[in-house]
Amino acid sequence: MAKTKDERLSAKRQLLLARSALAWDVDQSEALRLLRIGRCQSVRVNTLATGVDTAISQLRKLGWRGAQYAWCPEGLSIDVGLEAVRDSQLASAGQVYIQNAASWLPVLALDPRPNETILDVCAAPGGKTSHIAAAANNQVSITANDNSRPRLSRLRANMQRMGVDHIKYTLFDATQLGRRLDGQLFDKILLDAPCSGEGMLRYDSNADFATWSVAQIKRLQQLQKRLIVQAWRLLKPGGRLVYSTCTIAPEENEAVVDYVLRRYPDAVVQRPAIESELPLAKPLLRWGSRTYDSRVGQTLRVVPDTSLEAFYVAQLQKPS
């Protein structure tokens, strides 16, 4: 007898719960708590447009209450006042950008420096792209790519609103970037890969689970492998590649990094130098029947808490 829609959704939830418990090395009751945890929203002050202290003063006038993150001083939690911040002149003028705090981690790992050339492989809508520019005080040359014309238009509008300079926009299939960019190489590359987005799933939402499946994860893994190989080829000797996702699935995280390490054995995995304590689980060196390269243990697997969604960050360096 065929399962009803509710039964299918219930089975999906149970599967995600079981997989998450294994990935985080916790029991299922703790995994359920983490999947259901209520997260405050966050805002990043765009330091290209205003100072952090000035923004905090203006936010307080809107009724905002929150705190600065020790590990990202331009990042603020929004405990009270999200709607007021979203509807404010600060947001519309590009002085602040609302995003989950976990989204700052890849840019902190990338560590943009003045005069570098940087490729953002899957850039739209531009939260991380603008963070890259701000981190280097607009003194980097950014190539921002996306494969969707509407998304690229939104990216361009966001960058103009936020005062990002020295940026080139490309509308390419990222699996063909090496050919389309005609041999150009970059000092640093951010690959915030398309993923199953498990970190953003609301556990009790039927709509969020409608398209989630292990089959989808496996399809995305194949795309991610192609993307990371393209990114590696576009990296200068001595350059840095940051790979990130907002998902829990090891197939999309450790397995993808393991794939590039096996393909390019001289790649160096660096532990991201993010100073403050983060809610982390140990990166997986085994999933099912597959064993991963021990260097995968230097990556970051972020467990959700009240400010961060589940996330994954790997920092790779190409030998000089």
| 295: DSSP letter | G
- Phi first, then psi, for residue 247 (nearest 5°) are -135, 165
What's residue 280's pLDDT? 96
pLDDT in tens, 137-174: 999 999 999 999 999 999 999 999 999 999 999 999 99
Every domain of the chain with CATH number 3.30.70.1170 lies at: 39-98
| CA–centroid distance for 289 within its chain | 27
| Cα separation, 199 vs 196, whole angstroms | 9
* Average pLDDT by stretches of 10, the chain with 320 residues: 83 97 98 93 96 96 92 93 91 96 98 98 98 98 98 97 97 95 94 98 91 97 98 98 99 99 98 86 97 98 95 98
Q: Which contiguous run of DSSP H or E holds residue 222?
A: helix 214-233
Please give the structure tokens belonging to residue 104. Answer: 């700052």
Q: List, by residue number, the catalytic residues.
A: 246
Q: Where are the CATH 3.40.50.150 domain residues in the chain?
A: 101-270+277-320
Place of tokens 């959700």: 304
| Residue at 229: amino acid letter | V
Cβ atoms < 10 Å from Cβ of 63: 11
Asked if residues 78 and 59 have their Cβ atoms less than 8 Å apart, the reply is: no
Query: Which segments within the chain are labelled E, that is strand?
Result: 41-45, 68-69, 72-78, 96-98, 117-120, 141-145, 167-170, 186-192, 235-245, 268-270, 280-281, 286-287, 290-291, 300-302, 311-317
Who contacts 87 (Cβ-Cβ below 8 Å, separation ≥6)?
none
Residue 60 is encoded by which pair of tokens? 């307080």
Q: What is the reported pTM? A: 0.97
How does DSSP assign 74-143, residue by residue? EEEEESB-HHHHHTSHHHHTTSEEE--GGGGHHHHHH---TT-EEEETT-TT-HHHHHHHHHTTT-SEEE
Q: What is the pLDDT of residue 304?
A: 96
Q: Which residues, listed in sequence order, are joined to residue 317 by a DSSP beta bridge?
A: 240, 268
| pLDDT at 270 (0 to 100) | 98
Strands (E), 130-276: 141-145, 167-170, 186-192, 235-245, 268-270
- Class of domain 39-98 (CATH, top level): alpha beta
Non-local (6+) Cβ contacts of 254 within 8 A are 283, 284, 285, 287, 292, 296, 299, 301, 312
Instruction: Kindly list the distances between the CA atom of residue 280 and the CA atoms of 45, 141, 142, 150, 300, in Å, as whole numbers in the listed order.
Output: 25, 32, 30, 35, 7
Q: What is the third-level CATH fold of 101-270+277-320?
A: Rossmann fold (3.40.50)
**Per-residue tokens: 20:** 């998450």
